[in-house]
Amino acid sequence: MFHAHARDVSRLLFATVVLILTPSIAWAGDTGTLNLVPWPTSVTAQEGTLALPADARVVVADQSLLPLGEVLAAEIEAVSKKRPPVVVGASTPGDICLAYDEQLQGETYAMRVTDRVVIRGGTYGAIAMGTVTCLQSLTPEMRVPRMTVADTPAAPYRGLMLDVARKYHTIESIKEIVVLCRLYKIRYLQLHLTDDQGFMFPSKAYPKLATKNYNGGETYTLQELKELVAYADARYVTIIPEYEVPGHSGTAVRTMPDLFTIKDTKPYEHHASINFVKDDVMKAVETIVGEMCEVFKSTPYFHIGGDEADLALADQNVLFQAAMKKHDLPNVHELYRRFVVQMNEIVKKNGKQMIVWEGFNRGGKVRIPRDIVVMAYEIRFYMPDRLVEDGYPVVNASWTPLYVVNKNVRPEDEIYAWNIFQFKPYGAKPDTPGKVVADTDRVIGAQICAWEQPQESEIPSLRRRAPTMAERIWNPTAGRTYADFKKRLDATDRLLDQLRGKADQVPDLTNPHPTPAEGPR
C-alpha cells in the first residue's frame, strides 16, 4: 500500500496531462490575479473571463459524481448567493462539467475554462481537487478566468490532526475543519479519539470506556461519526481514526482497571499504559480496532498512536515476566516492539495500513515491519534519515514548525520556509536546519497537528498555517515567494469564512512573536 508514485510517477502523470490537454503548456498570460492555494503544477491564463449565466448548471457526466456536484453547488451559493442545479448528462455553454477521464491517474486533474468549465480526472478525488481550483477562481459575480490548469500533488499524504480526546469538539466544529481541509486540498483528517482524558469512540463491546471522560462523560454516537465520515467523503477528505495504545490510555485504565491495569508495580501502578501482554486486553484492543474500522470505512489508514508508553516498572508484573520468558525477549521494550507487530497484523486484517508515531528505536530483537507508516514528530527515537534508509514510509509531522498548541505556534512565514524533507524537533529556532533528508519517495507527505486546543481555537490557529503547509507539499518547486503566497492566502481565507457561513466574523490573526510549542506529547 506504500505510495511509491509520490514524485517520479507524479511527474510522469503531469507530462501525460500536458500532452492530453494541448501541445504546449507553459507559464502564459497574467496569472498574478489568480488566488489559488496551493499553487497548481501548471496554469496557462488566457484573456478574459467566462461569465456563468443565470441558468448555469453543475453537470456531472456520471451518477457517482452527484455528491461532489451538490457540494460544489452549495459552495457556489456561499460565494454568489445563487445555487446552480446539479444534473447528470451532457454540458452546454455556461455549465460547469465534471467528468471522468481514464487517461488521468491518481489525483491528477485537468481544468479548462472556455465557453464552459470542464474539470476532468480519473477518480472522484481527482475531480474534487479540480472543483476546489474552480471554486477558488470564481468571483462573486460568477465569473471564472479563462485558463487551462494541469495539476497533480507532489505528496500523496497531506494531513491535519485534531485532538478531540483532550478537548471536546462538536461534530459541527469538526465539519468546519473538513471544510478547511477541502479548501486547501488536504486529503486526510486524523482524529485523535482516545487519550488519558477521554475515550471518544462509542464501543458497543466495551461501552464503559466512554463513561468517565473528563468532559463530563460526553462522547460521540456511532450515527454521528458515520454521518461525519459521509460528510467528509463527499468532499474528498478522508478521516483517519487514532486509537492510542499502549500508552496514553488513562481513560481505559480508569474505567476498566481490572482489565487494563499493569498491576502490582512499585512505587506506582501505571495509570496510562495498558497491560497488553494479557490475552483479554489484546482481545479488547482487536475488537475496538474492528469497531472503528467498521465506522471509518473509507480510510486506507489506521493510527494506533504507539508512543510514550510508560513501561518503566512493568518488569515487576508477573504477566510481563512470563511473557518475556515465553517469547525469549530480554526486556519490556522488546515486548512493546512485539505489541507493535501484533497491532500491525490486527490493522491489516481489517484492510488498513497502520500508522504509528515515532516511538520505537532503531534495531532491537523484534523486527518492526517496513509496511508501517511512521509519523516522525520528535526526531529523537528513530531519526528520519534512518527510517528512510531502513525502508519505512515516513510522514513529516515534525514538532517544529508543524505543531499547533494553543498560543504556542510557529508563524506561517516560518512554515513557508520549511520543506517536506526538513525535520526539526521541539524548541528548534527558525534558522536551525534540523535533520534534512535527501529527496525520496519514502517521505510520503506531511501533517500539521493541533493538540490540546478547545474547538473555538482550531479555525483561528489553523486557517493560515494548514494552507501554508499544504502549498509547500503540493507543489514545492513552484518557486513562489512568501509575499505572493500571502496575497493569495488573504483571498482564500476570506473564501473560507463564506464557506463557513460566517463572513462577518473576522478572527484576530495577529501573532507576531509566537513561542515554541509546549506540546502534550
Residue recorded with cell 461532489 = 68
Which phi and psi angles does 86 have, rounded to 5°? Answer: -110, 125
Q: What is the separation, in whole angstroms, between the first and last Cα of the chain?
A: 28
Q: What span, in angstroms and rounded, lies between the C-alpha atoms of 452 and 433?
A: 27
> What band does 10 get if pLDDT is binned at 50, 70 and 90?
very low
Q: Which domain holds residue 16?
A: 8-151
Domain membership of residue 499 (yes or no) is no
Please give the pLDDT value at position 11: 40
Query: In this structure, are residues 210 and 201 in contact, taking their beta carbons and an 8 Å threshold?
Result: yes
Please give the pLDDT value at position 504: 43
> What band does 140 get if pLDDT is binned at 50, 70 and 90?
confident
Query: In this structure, are residues 346 and 289 in contact, taking their beta carbons and an 8 Å threshold?
Result: yes
**What average pLDDT does the structure give for the chain?**
91
Domain end marker among 132, 151, 170:
151
- Is 196 in the same domain as 66? no
- Is 244 in the same domain as 206? yes
Q: Return the higher-pLDDT residue of 53 and 506.
A: 53
Domain end marker among 119, 151, 183:
151
Query: In this structure, are residues 390 and 370 in contact, taking their beta carbons and an 8 Å threshold?
Result: yes
- Is 194 in the same domain as 69? no
- Is 312 in the same domain as 206? yes
Query: In this structure, are residues 475 and 426 in contact, taking their beta carbons and an 8 Å threshold?
Result: no
Q: What span, in angstroms and rounded, lies between the C-alpha atoms of 152 and 17?
A: 9
Please give the pLDDT value at position 501: 74
The CATH number given to whatever domain includes residue 134 is: 3.30.379.10
- Is 317 in the same domain as 202? yes
Peptide bond into 267 cis (omega under 30): yes
Model confidence pLDDT, tens digit, residues 34-55: 999 999 999 999 999 999 999 9
Please give the pLDDT value at position 26: 33
Please give the pLDDT value at position 263: 96
Please give the pLDDT value at position 521: 36
> What band does 512 get if pLDDT is binned at 50, 70 and 90?
very low
Q: Taking residues 226-243, report their average pLDDT.
A: 98
Model confidence pLDDT, tens digit, residues 400-453: 999 999 988 999 999 999 999 999 999 999 889 999 999 999 999 999 999 999
Q: Residue 139 belongs to what H/E stretch?
A: none
Please give the pLDDT value at position 30: 57
The amino acid occupying position 397 is: A
**Distances 292 to 93, 114, 350 between C-alpha atoms, Å:** 46, 45, 10
Please give the pLDDT value at position 215: 83
- Is 138 in the same domain as 178? no
> What band does 18 get if pLDDT is binned at 50, 70 and 90?
very low
Residue 509, pLDDT > 60, answer no
Lowest-confidence region among 2-11, 44-53, 358-367: 2-11
Domain membership of residue 132 (yes or no) is yes
Please give the pLDDT value at position 218: 82
Q: Taking residues 360-378, report their average pLDDT.
A: 96
Residue whose C-alpha is closest to residue 436's, from 458, 415, 453, 419: 419
- Is 351 in the same domain as 202? yes
The fraction of the chain above a pLDDT of 70, given in percent, is 90
Please give the pLDDT value at position 508: 40
Please give the pLDDT value at position 514: 32
- Is 147 in the same domain as 161? no
Q: What span, in angstroms and rounded, lies between the C-alpha atoms of 125 and 131?
A: 10
Q: What span, in angstroms and rounded, lies between the C-alpha atoms of 503 and 287?
A: 44
> What band does 172 get if pLDDT is binned at 50, 70 and 90?
very high
Residue 209, pLDDT > 80, answer yes
> What band does 31 get if pLDDT is binned at 50, 70 and 90?
low
Q: What span, in angstroms and rounded, lies between the C-alpha atoms of 111 and 516?
A: 41
Domain end marker among 88, 121, 151:
151
Residue recorded with cell 456511532 = 222
**Which cell goes with 310?**
510508560
Please give the pLDDT value at position 7: 42
- Is 78 in the same domain as 141? yes
| H, E, C per residue of 228-269 | HHHHHHHCCCEEEEEEEECCCCHHHHHHCHHHHCCCCCCCCC
Q: Taking residues 356-363, report their average pLDDT.
A: 94
Q: What span, in angstroms and rounded, lies between the C-alpha atoms of 361 and 192?
A: 23
- Is 247 in the same domain as 332? yes
Please give the pLDDT value at position 217: 73
The CATH number given to whatever domain includes residue 303 is: 3.20.20.80
Q: For 479, what's the count of Cα atoms within 13 Å in the CB-facing half-sphere?
A: 3
Please give the pLDDT value at position 502: 53
**Which cell goes with 261?**
491495569
Q: Return the higher-pLDDT residue of 47 and 7.
A: 47
- Is 287 in the same domain as 206? yes
Q: What is the dihedral of CA 161, 165, 167, 171, to 10 degrees?
A: 70
3-class secondary structure, 68: helix
Residue 168, pLDDT > 50, answer yes
Q: Return the higher-pLDDT residue of 501 and 50.
A: 50
Domain membership of residue 511 (yes or no) is no
Please give the pLDDT value at position 365: 96
Please give the pLDDT value at position 170: 96
